[in-house]
Amino acid sequence: MIRRFFTYYRPHRRLFIIDFSCAVIVAALELAFPLAVQHFIDTLLPSGNWNAIVGVSIGLLLLYIVSTLLQFIVNYWGHKLGINIETDMRQELFQHVQRQSFRFFDNTKTGHIMSRITNDLFDLGELAHHGPEDLFIAVMTFVGAFWIMLTINVKLALTAMIIAPFLVWLISYANKKMNAAWKNMYSDIADVNARVEDSVAGVRVVQSFTNEEFEIERFTKNNRKFRLAKLAAYKVMSFSSSGMYMSTRMMVLIVLVYGAWLNFTGNLSHGEMVGFVLYVNVLFKPIDKISAILELYPKGMAGFKRFTELMDQQLDVVDKHDAIEVPHLRGDISFRDVTFSYDEHKPVLEGIDLDIHHGETVAFVGPSGAGKTTICSLIPRFYDVSGGGIYIDGIDIRDITKKSLRSQIGIVQQDVFLFTGTLRENIAYGSLGASQEEIKDAAKRAHLEDFIASLPDGYETQIGERGLKLSGGQKQRIAIARMFLKNPPILILDEATSALDTETERIIQEALSELAKDRTTLVIAHRLATIRNADRIVVVTEDGIAEEGSHEELIEQDGIFANLYKVQYETSLSN
């Protein structure tokens, strides 16, 4: 894990070397100052040489200035290094999440993903900056100070170290406890995020059921759990920092008492005594640093572990190494003995054989949950088939790059997702490089022109989050305009016209009919009246494809479709 962490330093090697070298020089200077003070007291003071005192003081002043400048570099460039690494990791994680398949998003809460990309990485930057640098300097200062203390007085130095075993125990105990505590904290804040995301995204459902109190209660539970996890972490942290404080003060006390004794007995000069006490103070710094790392390391590493967990998540729909680009598909689609299941236990589709010809409009109907949407999701490889194969123009879709396959399939869903931005940007999402003229043409063909003309800002009108300011019909027409821009040979319309009033539906049907011209079109429909003109209707049931044929043929067959049609027709009459 640590080795993997260090690989993130590679692109910032230069920054690391500058920061690290400056930090080492600062630490070395820290070690030199007490020696100068000892020399001051033991040699310069008794000599009464004022010029030498002024000379040494100027020397010290210069060293302080150099040290201050170096500290600035360490602080600024060191943090820059940390921020760079944190940003790289965030970037890498976002790219990895973007490449994940639908299956990943089916199984992962949005709030958890958000948490990993934001919160979890906050402490990593600090760890990246302070971790290796502080640890190295702490060890170097500790060893250096202790070595100098040994040269001043061996007995006193060894006695001062009596508390060392306690310190070692404290460090390892706190490290273990804090690892667990921060891990819990991160997973609990991810739950809090998931809860917020759920209740904000679903606020209309919450309020329509007047379940605000229930949501608040659920949030309170998560929030309290997070509070307890954070408190537990701080409890261990407080225990360890108090323990550190106590042990370092004990060290001073031991040095003062034993040092005084050695001084009385003529084994330690005044200067050595002062120098020694100063070195004990130098020794505190690495101990303090280790205590800080002790806080930072488990925190950062808990975040890094969560980062690697997500980074190691296998991508399950990937391009083969020899996948081909297919810039112009005709749109002949064949399903050959296709089997598919979302999880291993329950197959949703079994033995599906189906041929859809270029330019044909095929409608899928059947009971809810039969697998109509699933069949259509397999064509753009949102999921890969578990058995059999799907071929477009005779090529297995697993042999085609995802990018070129998907760039030739357009999907209009009932729930149209609009991005925060302008109307123009939202239409242009269908083809990012589209010109203003092309956008206007697409809007016209999607029957959006009059609506856009009625807006004061026209194409530059801002659309609120998820397009809340637009009606369902307007959103659908934006989705259709996107498709005109994208201009794919294969089109999937997923219940695109349900939940609309008759007039809007007529306008959208017109736009869709134009869109479907010369394209292979798959329509998933519930209202059978809307698919009368389909070239073929495929009836999907839980047992697979039950019937196939034109509207008239299926009515004549008097099977499942004819029954469904009768029920819907009678219901619409009775309404």
Ligand X SMILES: Nc1ncnc2c1ncn2[C@@H]1O[C@H](COP(=O)(O)OP(=O)(O)OP(=O)(O)O)[C@@H](O)[C@H]1O
As measured in angstroms, the least distance from the Cβ of 498 to ligand X is 10
523 binds ligand X (CB under 6 A): no
- Does position 234 interact with ligand X (CB under 6 A)? The reply is no
User: Min. distance of Cβ 218 from ligand X in angstroms?
Assistant: 24
Strands (DSSP E) found in 357-495:
361-365, 387-392, 395-396, 409-413, 421-422, 462-463, 490-494
- Binding window for ligand X (CB under 6 A); candidates: 42-50, 173-181, 370-378, 386-394: 370-378
Q: In this chain, which of 106, 309, 325, 518 binds ligand X, going by CB under 6 A? A: 106
Q: Does residue number 380 form part of the binding site for ligand X (CB under 6 A)?
A: no
522 near ligand X, judged by CB under 6 A: no
Nearest to ligand X of 179, 374 (CB atom): 374
Residue 396 near residue 389 (C-beta atoms within 8 A): yes
Nearer Cβ to ligand X, position 100 or 374?
A: 374
Site membership for ligand X, residue 475 (CB under 6 A):
no
Query: Within positions 442 to 471, which residues make up the interface with ligand X, using CB under 6 A?
Result: none
Q: Which of 78, 82, 275, 371 binds ligand X (CB under 6 A)?
A: 371
C-beta of 334 vs 377, nearer to ligand X:
377
Using left for φ > 0, alpha for ψ between -120 and 50, and beta otherwise, residue 48 falls in left
- In the complex with ligand X, the residue whose CB is nearer, 92 or 542, is 542
373 scored as a contact of ligand X (CB under 6 A): yes
Closer to ligand X by CB, 106 or 558: give it. Answer: 106
Identity of the residue, 186 or 364, whose beta carbon is nearer to ligand X in the bound complex:
364
* Closest CB 107 distance from ligand X, rounded Å: 8
Using rule CB under 6 A, residue 316 touches ligand X: no
Q: Of 121-129, 286-294, 372-380, 550-558, which part binds ligand X (CB under 6 A)?
A: 372-380
Spatial contact of 307 and 93, defined as CB atoms under 8 Å apart: yes
Q: Name the minimum Å distance from CB 169 to ligand X.
A: 50
At 282, the amino acid letter reads V
520 binds ligand X (CB under 6 A): no
What ranges make up the beta strands (E) of 289-446? Answer: 333-341, 347-356, 361-365, 387-392, 395-396, 409-413, 421-422
**Would you say 106 or 309 has its CB closer to ligand X?**
106
Among residues 137, 156, 370, 423, the one that binds ligand X under rule CB under 6 A = 370
Distance CA 32, CA 40 (A): 13
- Is 480 near ligand X (CB under 6 A)? no
Report, in Å, the least distance between residue 323 CB and ligand X: 25
**Residue 365 within binding range of ligand X, rule CB under 6 A:** no
C-alpha–C-alpha distance, residues 130 and 212, integer Å: 44
Nearer to ligand X, 368 or 574 (CB): 368
Q: Which is nearer to ligand X, 27 or 538 (CB)?
A: 538
What string marks each residue from 149 to 188 as x (binds ligand X by CB under 6 A) or -? Answer: ----------------------------------------
CB closer to ligand X out of 359 and 472 = 472
CA angle 299, 304, 309 (to 5 degrees): 130
Contact stretch for ligand X (CB under 6 A) within 56-64, 352-360, 362-370, 405-413? 362-370
By the rule CB under 6 A, 291 interacts with ligand X: no
* 506/513 Cα distance (integer angstroms): 10
Least distance (Å) between residue 372 CB and ligand X: 4
Neighbours of 11 (CB within 10 A): 12
Q: How many CB atoms lie within 10 A of CB 33?
A: 15
Report the residue number, 107 or 207, with the smaller CB distance to ligand X. 107
Among 7, 368, 454, 575, binds ligand X (CB under 6 A): 368
The helix (H) or strand (E) run that includes residue 453 is helix 449-453
Can residue 125 be called a binding residue for ligand X (CB under 6 A)? Answer: no
Burial of 281 (0-12, 13-18, 19+ CB in 10 A): middle
Question: In terms of Cα–Cα distance, which of 116, 121, 234 is closest to 182?
Answer: 234
SS3 content of the chain, % helix, strand, coil (to 5): 70, 10, 20
Number of residues that bind ligand X (CB under 6 A): 10
> Of the ranges 166-174, 283-291, 364-372, 427-435, which one interacts with ligand X (CB under 6 A)?
364-372
**Rounded distance between C-alpha atoms, residue 163 and residue 251, angstroms:** 7
Name which of residues 321 to 350 contact ligand X (CB under 6 A).
Answer: 342, 348
Q: Which stretch binds ligand X (CB under 6 A): 41-49, 299-307, 365-373, 413-421?
A: 365-373
One character per residue 53-92, x = contact with ligand X (rule: CB under 6 A) = ----------------------------------------
Among residues 374, 431, 476, 520, the one that binds ligand X under rule CB under 6 A: 374
110 binds ligand X (CB under 6 A): no
- Which whole-number Å values give the CA distances from 487 to 122, 407, 497, in the listed order? 42, 9, 20
Query: String of b and e for 136-161 (b: at least 16 CB within 10 Å)?
Result: ebbebbbebbbebbeebbeebbebbb
Binding mask 20-59 for ligand X (x = CB under 6 A): ----------------------------------------
Residue 413 vs 550, nearer CB to ligand X: 413
Residues 6+ apart with CB under 8 A from 167: 244, 247, 287
524 and 495 Cβ atoms separated by less than 8 Å? yes
- CB–CB of 539/547 below 8 Å? yes
Q: Which two tokens stand for residue 184?
A: 């819990």
Say which residue the tokens 């001073």 belong to. 252
Q: Is residue 538 part of the contact set for ligand X (CB under 6 A)?
A: no
Asked if 92 and 311 touch (Cβ cutoff 8 Å), the reply is: yes
Alpha carbon distances (Å) from 376 to 32, 192, 481, 494? 74, 35, 21, 9
Helical axes 164-201 vs 119-152, angle rounded to 10°: 170
Binding-site ranges for ligand X (CB under 6 A): 106, 342, 348, 368-374
